[in-house]
Chain A
Amino acid sequence: AQTVTQSQPEMSVQEAETVTLSCTYDTSESDYYLFWYKQPPSRQMILVIRQEAYKQQNATENRFSVNFQKAAKSFSLKISDSQLGDAAMYFCARDDTGNQFYFGTGTSLTVIP
Chain B
Amino acid sequence: SQTIHQWPATLVQPVGSPLSLECTVEGTSNPNLYWYRQAAGRGLQLLFYSVGIGQISSEVPQNLSASRPQDRQFILSSKKLLLSDSGFYLCAWSGGGGNTEAFFGQGTRLTVV
Contacts and interface: CB of A to CB of B under 8 A. Distances in A.
B46 interface: yes
A22 interface: no
B101 A35 contact: yes
B92 A99 contact: no
Main secondary structure of the interface of A (DSSP, over half): loop
A106 B43 contact: yes
A33 B90 contact: no
A98 interface: yes
A67 B72 CA distance: 36
Contact of B106 (A35, A43, A97, A101): A43
A91 to B, nearest CB: 6
Interface in A51-101: 52, 91, 93, 95-101
A102 B102 CA distance: 11
A45 B97 contact: no
**Interface residues on chain B, size class:** 20 to 34
A105 B42 contact: yes
A31 B98 CA distance: 9
The 10 closest A-B pairs by CB, nearest first: A105-B43, A98-B98, A45-B104, A103-B44, A98-B97, A47-B101, A98-B96, A101-B102, A106-B43, A33-B98
Interface of B: 32, 34, 36, 42-46, 49, 51, 57, 59, 88, 90, 92, 94, 96-102, 104, 106-107
Interface of A: 6, 31-33, 35, 43-45, 47, 50, 52, 91, 93, 95-106
Given A6-B43, A98-B94, A101-B102, 9 more contacts: A43-B88, A44-B104, A91-B44, A95-B94, A98-B100, A100-B46, A104-B43, A105-B42, A105-B43
